[in-house]
Amino acid sequence: MDSWALLSVSDKTGLVELARHLRDEQGLKLLATASTARHLMDNGFEVATVESLTGFGEILDGRVKTLHPLIYGGLLASSKLDHQAQRETMGAPDIRVVVVNLYPFERRWQEGLTGAELIEEIDIGGVSLIRAAAKNNERVAVLVDPGQYEPYMDGLHDEAARRRLAVEAFRHVAYYDAIIAEALSEPGEQPDLLALAGRRQGTLRYGENPHQTGAFYAFAPRVGFADAQLLQGKALSFNNYADADTAVKLARDLSGPAAVVVKHQTPSSTAFGETILDAYQRAHDADPVSIFGGVVAVNRPVDRALAAKLTEIFLEVVVAPAVEPDAAAILAKKKNLRVLVMSFEPHPSLDFKGILGGVLVQPADAIQKPLGAWRHVAGPAADLEALSRDLDLAWKTVARVKSNAIVVVKDGVTLGIGGGQTNRIDAARQALDRAGDKARGAIVASDGFFPFGDVLKLCGERGVAVVVEPGGSLRDQESIDEANEAGITLIMTDERHFRH
């Protein structure tokens, strides 16, 4: 009895070559849905249509094409004698290969299609054909992407090969369904069942350390780093991505021309400037040691003057919303410098952290309470509007520093950053020691509350003028008392920003 290949594709790339292989090398007859059959017939193939087999045409505007017992009897019949007897009795074809491309739901969603039009891009019959073929991989090979055609034609068609194709097919369908669920869900939703749709955008040279493998999986819709353009340099490493992510999130939060320097996923310096060149120079000078080999993000286009400065030292990555053409020519002289151009527009996202046996999920952290909602709780009254630029820089920077975190700011630049400490007083000493005498009259921000009055006492000894912290400790009064005694303006935001 004849054996068949069933073809139903929206993407006709490579179809003619594959059909020729199926016919000439595997001796299969061709069965296809209407548009696929027409394409093959136009290229000289003899093709039976699904409609001619089942006796039923498409219905419901094409929503139903292949959902018929004769198709699935031919697809799902195993090697068991009674299965084959039933298939033969009902007249179902012996289908040995299935080639299906699903409706391009992801691309159409990315293009902005919504509502009823997007719903029509949800494939039903194609998914069912793929699942049936993959389930019966003992007898059936399933191909879901034109990229599989050439390896399939060049490779073995044994049971092990069919099983590998089945695994790829189930992943393909799972990704497709997860994309649909994501598109129809509310942003930031945390459902009972978590289905992540990630497409590998590249294999990294290694992970956080050389003995670990690494890869970047982009989510849909393509935003952020998934939509970035690598203007020059080698592909980003695992650590480059992690550092650049911190830098971009902080740079986009800052409203004036600003530069952010990041090492090991924590800011080493940030600064505002009258121009983007000024901002970068001030961030550089705030910590000229840590910037070496660091990641720099600027929230304005890179111009010729900034490009010249950026090439004076060794940097791993520069990230910007745009690079002017003459600036790109200057940056190109540093062949190993990675230059990434991407949108800094915020978008709803979730944070994931893998732990043994699962993953922790939360909405990405963002500043919720504006300066106008903060509380002055101790010390002399201060003109917060006049200090708003420094307060903004201090609070937004400390939110991106590894906890426990303390940031010292004055005149639109970080003077000292202490982070990643196991207690807050050590973080404060680290930041204030780096600031030195410049801490006098400065603003200090803390990502978490003070459990004791020790940090305020230290700030008083260093001449700090304003301290911003979340508040909420059972011992807030200790800090309030220390602030009053030292003449420090103490402000509570009622919002913490731990970053572990």
pLDDT digits 0-9 by tens, 156-166 = 888 899 999 99
pLDDT at 59 over 70: no
**Which tops the pLDDT comparison, 142 or 189?**
142
Structural domain ending residue among the three candidates 156, 184, 212: 184
**Buried b or exposed e, range 316-326, using 16+ CB within 10 angstroms:** bbbbbbebeee
Are 277 and 385 part of one and the same domain?
no
What H or E segment, with its residue span, contains residue 79?
A: none
> Tell me, what's the pLDDT at 50?
81
Give residues with Cβ within 8 angstroms of 308, minimum separation 6.
Answer: 330
Asked, for residue 109, whether it belongs to a domain, the answer is yes
- How far is residue 295's CA from residue 281's CA, in Å, rounded to a whole number? 14
The Cα 212–Cα 258 span in angstroms is 34
User: Is residue 153 pLDDT above 90, yes or no?
Assistant: yes
The residue out of 184, 207, 240 marking a domain boundary is 184
Inter-residue contact 313 to 342 (CB < 8 Å)? no
Q: How far apart are CA 26 and CA 49, in angstroms?
A: 20
The residue type at 407: V
Rounded Cα distance between 104 and 116, Å, is 15
Residue 346 lies in a domain: no
Residue 251 lies in a domain: yes
At 441, list the tokens: 């009259």
**Predicted pLDDT at 170:** 94
Q: What is the length of the chain?
A: 500
**3-state SS class at 406:** strand
3-state DSSP helix/strand/coil % of the chain, to nearest 5:
40, 20, 40
The mean-pLDDT minimum among 315-329, 360-374, 408-422 falls in: 360-374
- Residue 37's CB is within 10 A of a number of other CB atoms, namely 21
- Omega within 30 of 0 (cis) for the link into 348: no
Share of the chain above pLDDT 90, in %: 68
In a domain, 216, yes or no: no
pLDDT, residue 456, reads 95
- Indicate whether 362 belongs to any domain: no
State the Cα–Cα distance between residues 311 and 333, nearest whole angstrom.
8
Cα 278 from chain centre: 31
Which tokens belong to 264? 């090991």
pLDDT band at 55 (very low <50, low <70, confident <90, very high): low
Containing structural domain, residue 157: 3-184
Q: Which position has the token pair 């548009």?
A: 35
Q: Is residue 200 part of a domain?
A: no
Average pLDDT, the chain: 91
Tokens of 66: 């292949």
Query: Which of the two residues, 490 and 219, has the higher pLDDT score?
Result: 490
Instruction: Measure Cα distances from 118 to 114, 371, 437 in Å.
Output: 5, 41, 61
CATH of the domain at 98: 3.40.50.1380
**Contact predicate 442/415, CB 8 Å:** yes
Same domain for 241 and 147: no
Asked whether residue 201 is domain-assigned, the answer is no
Number of Cβ atoms within 10 Å of the Cβ of 340: 23
Do 27 and 154 belong to one domain? yes
Q: What's the confidence (pLDDT) of residue 149?
A: 94
* Strands in 191-277 per DSSP E: 198-204, 214-219, 229-232, 258-263, 266-272
Give me the mean pLDDT over the 179-193 stretch.
Answer: 83
306 shares its domain with 426: no
Give the pLDDT of residue 358.
92
220 within 8 A of 196, measured Cβ to Cβ: no
Q: Which two tokens stand for residue 380?
A: 């002399």
Q: Which residue has the tokens 């220390």?
A: 482
Q: Helix (H, G, I), strand (E, B), or coil: what is residue 199?
A: strand
Do residues 235 and 179 share a domain? Answer: no
Please calculate the CA angle 6-8-11 and round it to the nearest 5 degrees: 135
Of the three residues 341, 365, 392, the one that is the final residue of a domain is 341
Q: Amino acid identity of 129?
A: L
The tens digit of pLDDT for each residue in 26-41 reads 999 998 988 898 999 9
Is-contact 96 156, C-beta < 8 A?
Answer: no
Packing angle of the helix pair 81-90, 69-76 (nearest 10 deg): 150
* DSSP-based three-state secondary structure for 255: coil
pLDDT tens digits for range 117-130: 999 888 888 898 99
Give the pTM: 0.86
What pLDDT score was predicted for residue 190?
A: 82
73 shares a domain with 173: yes
pLDDT for residue 332 is more than 90:
yes
Band (385; pLDDT cuts 50, 70, 90): confident
pLDDT computed for residue 460 by the predictor: 95
Indicate whether 243 and 310 sit together in one domain: yes
Between CA 324 and CA 375 the distance in angstroms is 43
Give me the active site residues, please: 135, 264
Q: What Rg do the C-alpha atoms of the chain give, in angstroms?
A: 30
Domain count, the chain: 3
Q: Report CA-CA distances (Å) from 82 to 77, 89, 106.
A: 9, 10, 41
CATH code where residue 400 lies: 3.40.140.20
Which residues in 361-380 are b (16+ Cβ under 10 Å) and which e?
A: eeeeeeeeeebeebeebbbe
Instruction: Give the model's pLDDT for residue 62.
Output: 67
**Same structural domain, 413 and 318:** no
Decide if 100 is inside a domain: yes
Helix (H, G, I), strand (E, B) or coil at 430: helix
Cα gap 345→261, rounded to integer Å: 19
In DSSP terms, 351 is beta-bridged to 362
Identify the CA nearest to 28 among candidates 48, 8, 11, 13. Answer: 48
